[in-house]
Amino acid sequence: MKFAKYWSEASVPADEKIFGVNTLSTWGASNESQQQAGVNAMERAAKLTQIVSRGLEALREYEYWNGYIREEVIDEIKDADGRLLGVLTRNNYGAIVLNAESVFFGDIDVTEETFFSKLLQLFGRPKKDKAYHLANVEQFQKQNTEYTIKVYETFAGLRVVIVNRVFEQDFATVNALFSSLGVDPLYVTLCKVQSCYRARLTPKPWRIGIDRPLFRFPRHEQYELDGFSEWLTDYELAAKSYRTVKVVAEFGSDAVHPDVARVLEVHDQYACVSGEVLA
């Protein structure tokens, strides 16, 4: 997992004719101190200066090697011995996200039906709704009985969690699981880039009638802090009428790995306790 407690911003000059602005900003991060974050920001700014001359395409690639996820760290999940199992962060649109080091989460999205997909159903192609994907997960588990799988329903599909074992740096196995279970490709890419499994715990704001927050983390100016505080009050009040997931099935034995049990305890406290409407 790549999360930092301290952030600092640095700017470099840019050609306004190419980039539309005369300066570009970059962030430095550190878990040591604010001062070290500033040093890292200046180092990244020096590298950015070299990259700017190569144009927009190089700049797009640049953010992929930031090294840290620019999200506010809210809390940590640890086992009884103090070993870190996961981190709770707030993402850029304000939702709380669980980031797990080795507990397998996978989100399966049900794509919206098109005229073409409906036409194919007339010729025998199954409708790939939530029931279809749930049956696929059940069939997979029957063929791979070494896994116990807990399934949650989400607004847009399903969330699967393998509860009887953990996966540490076992990329070949994890990629095969993602593929077999039909996990959303964008989710897979995000997990790989951020070196962890991700699970959103609170609603997307636009699904509960709330705009995105205006100010992204890190927020330093008082007007940013006040504006976000007001947004958060409205968001948390609206979120009380919704939940993010609900349990729909569990396939396999009743074995649960202790690390998974601890992580799911936190997951369910946030994601399963509000209203009945999914968001």
DSSP letters along the chain, please? --B-SEEEEEEEE--HHHHSSSEEEEEEEESS-HHHHHHHHHHHHHHHHHHHTT-HHHHHHHGGG--SB--EEEEEEE-TT--EEEEEEE-TTS-EEEEESS--EEEEE-PPP-HHHHHHHTTTPPP-SHHHHHHHHHHHHHH-TT--EEEEE-SSEEEEEE-S---SS-HHHHHHHHHHHT--HHHHHHHHHHTSEEEE-S--GGGGT-PPPSSPSS--SHHHHHHHHHHHHHHHHHHTTEES-EEEEEES-S---HHHHHHHHHHHHHHSSS-SEE-
For 205-232, the pLDDT digits (tens) are 999 999 999 998 988 899 999 999 999 9
Residues of the chain with pLDDT > 90, as a percent, come to 57
Banded model confidence at residue 53, pLDDT cuts 50, 70, 90: low
Pairing mode of beta strands 105-109, 84-90? unpaired
Q: What is the predicted pLDDT for the residue at 246?
A: 96
Strand order across the 149-153 sheet:
105-109, 157-162, 149-153, 246-251
- Ordered by start, the domain boundaries in the chain are 6-65, 72-278
Answer yes or no: is pLDDT of 87 > 90.
Answer: yes
Two structure tokens written together for 1: 């997992």
Q: What is the predicted pLDDT for the residue at 70?
A: 82
Two structure tokens written together for 268: 């369910």
- Could you tell me which of 84, 104, 105 has the C-alpha nearest to residue 31? 84
Highest mean pLDDT among 31-45, 47-61, 129-143: 129-143
Banded model confidence at residue 62, pLDDT cuts 50, 70, 90: very low
Q: What is the predicted pLDDT for the residue at 10?
A: 77
Tell me the mean pLDDT in the region 42-63: 59
Q: Chain-wide mean pLDDT for the chain? A: 85
Q: What is the predicted pLDDT for the residue at 216?
A: 87
Q: What is the predicted pLDDT for the residue at 156?
A: 92
Tell me the mean pLDDT in the region 253-279: 94
Q: What is the predicted pLDDT for the residue at 52?
A: 62
Answer yes or no: is pLDDT of 68 > 90.
Answer: no
